[in-house]
Amino acid sequence: MTAPTKPSPDNPANALSGSPLGENLHSPVIDWFDENARDLPWRRPEAGPWGVMVSEFMLQQTPVNRVLPIYEQWLARWPRPADLAKEAPGEAVRAWGRLGYPRRALRLHGAAVAIAERHGGDVPTDHAQLLALPGIGEYTAAAVASFAYGQRHPVLDTNVRRVLARAVTGTQYPPNATTAAERKLARALLPEDERTAARWAAASMELGALVCTAKNESCHRCPITAQCAWRLAGKPEHEGPPRRGQTYAGTDRQVRGKLLAVLREAHVPVPQADLDRVWHEPVQRARALDGLVADGLVEPLPGGMYRLPLS
């Protein structure tokens, strides 16, 4: 009997045509997920589609432990999109706290307004309608359709991309930005059954978060270690462009965070002098404040006063 051909790293999606590799990955990963999935509030039935959408916005570039308390507070205050839509966008920024990347709060508020106006207050089930919401990109639309409605879509976050890179293409890390080849591979690996496809999306994501991690991966705990192309190749070191590191201290992002913290604490407009105290370097401070204004996160008022946006 001829052994199944392994996918070519150069064109893994084409190599999957007629190959049982997908099925060989699905069952062990989904079985592992059934036993090891974290009990997270957005995975519970009571979260509903809105809870799933809120979690997807919050979890972008932010770890679960930081998201959990803000998520709970958010859903307690705004259990439906219409509840958030009634508030000023600045309240969304205030409630976002220190999750980082606060433009996500504005985008989530904008999506809530659109849901209230276009869809009767219910998160749409159709993938195209989700994608048409402001602030919703390819990943978030697929994630909400899959996790909230059990639909069949490739869901490609950083964790899933890393699992596929290692298990299928034999590389330590995926490219810095999602490529057409990765999307093609993810589509080729999707189970045909909708429910199974949605479960695979969640399971492969959890595997990347808990086992197939960026550093210190736990191959001995991995349910597909016997099939993993990267492990079988001897775990070759990453040869692509350098991995992008995330710096924070001393950056404009840190200054923006300090300025927003002052405005979040205040429920009345804040004078320029209060903002000047948060950072010693005036040029960088002014640049950060100008950026916040340009992004719609801060609203300037006459007399050198500032507040979170009301519209």
Task: Tell me which residues are annotated as active site.
Answer: 56
β-pair type (270-271, 299-301): unpaired
Query: Which positions ≥6 away from 7 have C-beta within 8 Å?
Result: 15, 16, 19, 21, 168, 169, 229
Dihedrals phi, psi of 178, to nearest 5 degrees: -60, 135
> Between the CA of residue 272 and those of 102, 267, 285, 298, what are the distances in Å?
21, 15, 11, 12
CA-based nearest residue to 197, from 163, 151, 162: 151
Task: Give the separation between CA 253 and CA 84, rounded to whole angstroms.
Answer: 26
SS3 215: coil
Task: Give the separation between CA 153 and CA 187, rounded to whole angstroms.
Answer: 8
Task: Give the separation between CA 101 and CA 39, rounded to whole angstroms.
Answer: 26
Q: Is 210 exposed, middle or buried (0-12, 13-18, 19+ CB in 10 A)?
A: middle
Q: Is 161 exposed, middle or buried (0-12, 13-18, 19+ CB in 10 A)?
A: buried
